[in-house]
Every structure is written in C-alpha cells, then in structure tokens.
C-alpha cells in the first residue's frame, strides 16, 4: 500500500453546507454524471431518545458537501442517487449508515462499495477509517469529535471539517482498493458482500416492555426480581422519552439490576443501592419506588423462548466447519468471518446440505461463496 499525495487535514476547505432546497438542487447538479460519490452519516444516538441522522456527508472529486437533515429540507430527491445503479456509493462500514438512512428516509440502495470490507477482504491489518487515513494519507483525526452531539445547532465549524474527513478520502481509497481487489481476483467476493449490505433491513428502535430481557443480568435474577426489573425498564423508557435522551442517561442497566435485587421500599433504602447518586434519589426517587412496588405486585413476566439447543451431531459439524474455515482464513491472511460468518456455519451445521443445489438454500452463502467454497464445505459435511 502506498500513500497518495492528498491535501492534509489542515488544508481542507470547509465543506459546502446544504440546508436549503436550492443548495440541494446545486448538489444534485454537481453529482450529475459523476460515477462515484462518497457518503457517510452522523447520528445523535448518545444524546437523543430516538436517534436520527443529523448529517449526510457526500464527497465527489474536488468538493465536499454536508447535508443538514434537521433543516426544513425535503431529502426525497436524494432517493434517486442512492437507488441509481450507475453511481457507486462509497461508504466506510456502510451497514449502520444504510440501516439508518432506510429507517429515517426510506431510501433504497444499489451499487455500494464499502472500504472497510474491502480492507478486510484484502487482509489489511488495520481497517478502522482513522487508522487507514493515518497509514495511507498521513492524516490524523481529532478524537474529541467522536462523541460530539451532531443534533445541536449551530454546529462547530471544526466539527463540520471533521465530519467531511469521513468522506473526503474515500474516493482515492476506493480506487486503491478496487485495484487490489482486481489484482487478487477478489472483486466478485467483495461485490457479493456489498450487495448484502445494500439489502440490510432498516433499524427498528421502538421500545416494548419485554425489551427488559436485553438488560445484562436479567436472566440471573429471581422471577420476582425480573418482574421488578420489567417495571423499572418501563418507567425508565418513559422518562427517557420525556427527556429526549438515551436510556443510559436516565439510569444505567447495572443500576436497574441493583434496584431489582434490592427492591427498596423507602428513600433511605433507595439511597443505599449501588449506583444511585443523591441527584438520582432527588429526581427519580418517588417514581422508582412506585415502579418497584408495581413490580412486587405484578404478575411474573413470561419467559422468552429458550435458546436453540443443538444436537451433538450439529455441534460436531459446526466445529469441523470452524476448523476448515480457520485453515482457509490463515491461507488468505484474513479474519475468519471474511470467509464465512458464524451464523452461516450454524445454518450449514443444522441443515447438513448434501449437494450443490442444497447450498442454494443457505442464507448468507451467496453465489461467489458457493462457487469458491461449496465443494470444500460439502466435503467437510460429507463425513456425517
């Protein structure tokens, strides 16, 4: 890998702001006939009850743009760009961006290129964007903006320049990686991964009471403690919604677990619970005690379906496939999940396909992987 001669961070010009329909129209005009467009998003998950896309960054040769979805701006015209198979959209770690853009705007995606996955398929030792920018372009990003509140307005000018870095270098990076993929005959493999990412389902963040089972430690509680935890989780969600903040900024999961175990009945008992600060007791004391009381009186929550138990033969097939995958990954000098992910290995172990046609039914095992690994997979499974 060789460094490209590109402007350093300090030389970057402020990106073009897109906050009006006329500016969006100008951006779309600039995109006309461009075969590549680098894209990224910034959301406010650390600062809002329901996160939303707060910035959309787009770079083309010679220009960086930042679209403000929080301005009174109709972003429907962007739908054609993302769905256009003639324009390649270049992301780094695209999956979350794609899911968020689908959730917030209903966009559909075609012809993606993911520079993180390209780096993984090529066997690069460091695949984070900050690492790649430093290794290839001698650019160092300012980590102070990693936890920045992208939902506040107006945005700091330095924050906007930081955001534009996420797309500014993706175009030359893509071309460098595309050359490597072609030389190593990995283009079709990468294309298959990119298409799977484009088909990702939108994120759904709606809270339901049974989400309390996702609190770490919920399954270690007694049944009555689980009922208390459920009521505490319901209260916390309502408080987070009212304050428009994430759940953890009301009370952390570990504090909910401590409360469910202690089941305080008085303010004095409440203040003795680990993780409860004096301001928690002042601000939430009455409602937390009410939630605990409701949990003590409520019916016991229904248990979620038990995890799937695999047969001994399925586990043996899975372990044999893992051994095969480890050998392939070592030969290729890539992470094992670049070859085949765990979910696909379990699907193979459970279905135990016997023929090439049977492999067609394995979700996540696309045409390239079936052709590249199908014979070897069937050989491993043929021992059972």
The list of the chain residues with pLDDT below 70 reads 1-11
Give the C-alpha separation, 99 to 94, whole Å: 9
* DSSP, res 220: G
Fold of domain 209-297 = DNA polymerase; domain 1 (1.10.150)
So where are the chain's domains?
A: 9-198, 209-297, 312-381
Q: Which two tokens stand for residue 354?
A: 């016997």
Q: What's the pTM? A: 0.92
Judge whether 101 and 81 are in contact, CB under 8 Å.
Answer: no
Q: Do domains 209-297 and 312-381 have the same CATH topology?
A: yes
Q: How far is CA 342 from CA 50, 192, 242, 346, 381, in A?
A: 30, 17, 39, 6, 16
Q: What is the pLDDT of residue 124?
A: 98
Q: What is the pLDDT of residue 7?
A: 46
Q: What is the pLDDT of residue 11?
A: 64
Bridge partners of 63, per DSSP, are 60
Q: Which two tokens stand for residue 182?
A: 């072609």
Task: Specify the CATH superfamily of domain 312-381.
Answer: HRDC domain (1.10.150.80)
Q: What is the pLDDT of residue 202?
A: 95
Half-sphere exposure at residue 126, Cβ-oriented, CA atoms within 13 angstroms: 10
Tracing tokens 């995606």 back to the chain, one arrives at: 109
Long-range contacts from 16-19, C-beta under 8 angstroms, 24+ separation? 16/63, 16/64, 16/65, 16/66, 17/65, 17/66, 17/68, 17/160, 18/65, 18/66, 18/67, 18/68, 18/73, 19/68, 19/71, 19/73
DSSP-assigned states of every residue in 288-322: HHHHHHHHHHSPPPPPPPPPPPPPHHHHHHHHHHH
Q: What is the pLDDT of residue 326?
A: 98
Q: What is the pLDDT of residue 6?
A: 46
Give the C-alpha separation, 70 to 256, whole Å: 33
The CATH class, in words, for 9-198 is alpha beta
Q: What is the pLDDT of residue 1?
A: 47
Give the C-alpha separation, 76 to 21, whole Å: 11
Q: Which one, of 88, 86, 104, lies nearest residue 42 by Cα? A: 104
Question: Inter-axis angle of helices 223-243 and 253-262, to 10 degrees?
Answer: 140
């Amino acid at each position: 890998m060789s460094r490209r001669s590109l402007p350093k961070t300090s030389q970057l010009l402020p990106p073009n702001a897109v906050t009006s329909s006329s500016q969006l129209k100008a951006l779309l005009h600039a995109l006309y006939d461009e075969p590549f467009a680098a894209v990224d998003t910034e959301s406010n998950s650390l600062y809002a009850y329901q996160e939303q896309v707060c910035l959309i960054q787009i770079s083309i040769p010679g220009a960086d743009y930042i679209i403000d979805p929080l301005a009174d701006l109709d972003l429907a015209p962007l739908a054609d760009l993302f769905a256009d198979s003639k324009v390649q959209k270049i992301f780094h770690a695209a999956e979350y961006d794609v899911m968020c853009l689908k959730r917030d705007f209903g966009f559909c995606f075609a012809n993606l290129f993911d520079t993180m996955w390209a780096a993984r398929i090529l066997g690069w030792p460091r695949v984070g964007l900050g690492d790649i920018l430093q290794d290839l372009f001698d650019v160092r990003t300012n980590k102070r903006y990693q936890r920045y509140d992208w939902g506040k307005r107006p945005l700091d000018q330095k924050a906007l320049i930081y955001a534009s870095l996420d797309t500014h270098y993706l175009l030359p990076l893509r071309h460098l990686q595309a050359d490597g993929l072609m030389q190593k005959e990995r283009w079709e493999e990468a294309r298959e991964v990119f298409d799977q990412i484009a088909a990702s389902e939108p994120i759904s963040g709606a809270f339901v009471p049974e989400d309390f089972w996702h609190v770490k430690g919920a399954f270690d509680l007694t049944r009555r403690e689980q009922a208390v935890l459920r009521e505490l989780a319901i209260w916390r969600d309502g408080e987070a919604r009212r304050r428009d903040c994430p759940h953890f900024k009301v009370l952390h999961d570990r504090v909910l677990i401590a409360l469910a175990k202690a089941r305080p009945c008085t303010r004095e008992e409440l203040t003795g619970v680990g993780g409860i600060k004096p301001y928690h007791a002042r601000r939430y004391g009455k409602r937390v005690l009410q939630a605990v009381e409701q949990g003590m009186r409520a019916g016991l929550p229904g248990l979620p379906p038990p995890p799937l138990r695999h047969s001994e033969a399925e586990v043996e097939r899975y372990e044999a496939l893992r051994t095969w995958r480890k050998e392939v990954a070592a030969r290729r000098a890539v992470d094992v999940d670049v070859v085949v992910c765990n979910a696909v290995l379990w699907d193979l172990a459970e279905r135990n396909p016997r023929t090439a046609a049977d492999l067609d039914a394995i979700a996540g095992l696309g045409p390239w992987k079936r052709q590249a690994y199908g014979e070897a997979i069937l050989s491993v499974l043929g021992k059972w």
